[in-house]
Amino acid sequence: EAQVTQNPRYLITVTGKKLTVTCSQNMNHEYMSWYRQDPGLGLRQIYYSMNVEVTDKGDVPEGYKVSRKEKRNFPLILESPSPNQTSLYFCASSFLGVGSYEQYFGPGTRLTVT
């Protein structure tokens, strides 16, 4: 089944404790991205990647890191989480090229930083 998986689905952590949220897709998509969703603000893109070893900042990259060492995986790293990073995070992927850029979303990771 074609899908985007994220882990963990829920995470409660404390300020400053490094964490990684994993994202994996099995559709051989070139494009992957991370979003955070906050009430009233919609989806804001954190980072995106157009291929292996190619990453770019989105609208809200501060406090986050990403890497794209393999085509299928795009982990999101919070080196020193702070309470303002409490949010719902989505990973998404799509093909890149002529045609549709339909984004396939993972189920989301709800992060709470205390």
Partner 1 sequence: GQQVMQIPQYQHVQEGEDFTTYCNSSTTLSNIQWYKQRPGGHPVFLIQLVKSGEVKKQKRLTFQFGEAKKNSSLHITATQTTDVGTYFCAGLRSNYQLIWGAGTKLIIKP
Q: Where on the chain is the footprint of partner 1 (CB under 8 A)? A: 31, 33, 35, 40-45, 48, 50, 56, 58-59, 90, 92, 96, 100-108
Q: CA nearest 20: which of 72, 67, 52, 58? A: 67
Q: How far is the CB of 83 from partner 1 (least distance, A)?
A: 21
Q: How far is the CB of 74 from partner 1 (least distance, A)?
A: 15
Looking at the Cβ atoms of 56 and 79, the one nearer to partner 1 is 56
Looking at the Cβ atoms of 14 and 54, the one nearer to partner 1 is 54
Looking at the Cβ atoms of 14 and 41, the one nearer to partner 1 is 41
Buried b (16+ CB within 10 A) or exposed e, 68-106: beeebebbbebeebeeebbbebbbbbbeeeeeeeebbbb
CB contact at 8 A, 38 and 19 = no
